[in-house]
Homo-oligomer: A and B are copies of this chain.
Amino acid sequence: MNAPVTSRPDIMAALEDRGHRSTAPRRAIIRILEGKQEGFTAEEIGKELPDVGRATIFRTIKLLLEADAICKLNLINGAPRYSLSRVEHHHHTVCVRCGNVGEFRAATVERLMRAIGSDIPGKIVGHRIELYVTCRQCMTPDQPSRNSEGP
């Protein structure tokens, strides 16, 4: 009897493939963030795992970033947000009212980024795009607003 093939990628296995050990704290952190909304902070993880040291939270986040299992989003103000990677190259939407993070990908954007290379001195090696939005939940009035990020 094989275990059923899950649709989710096995993040712990990905870390093991990269030479890291499967430890209880790492598994716990991964389990927590798999159950979380997009855009969690390091501190939010730490609060749910009081027995895991703060340094281990940050160490594990770094490993997950290196393995492209999560992405980091530096906002103008407030702590960086992390979220599970869902597609390969992509960009983020951030709701300026509630802080929720979404992902998007548009071939037209990628194409244009490549095209403007000819107008820019030097050679483009990458790009980063963030869209600031008012999300659907926040457009219907009287919703709880978590914080305020800004463009």
Contacts and interface: CB of A to CB of B under 8 A. Distances in A.
Interface of A: 72, 74-76, 93, 95-96, 102, 104, 106, 108-109, 112-113, 115-116, 119-136, 138-139, 150-151
A112 B129 CA distance: 12
Given A108-B112, A112-B108, A151-B126, A120 B93 contact: yes
Contact of A112 (B75, B112, B121, B126): B112
Contacts of A132: 124-128
* In the A-B complex, the 8 residue pairs with the closest CB atoms: A126-B151, A126-B132, A122-B133, A122-B135, A128-B130, A74-B74, A123-B134, A129-B129
A123 B124 CA distance: 29
- This chain's copy number in the assembly: 2
B106 A121 contact: no
Interface of A is mostly: mixed
A29 to B, nearest CB: 21
Contact of A119 (B104, B113, B130): B104
A146 to B, nearest CB: 15
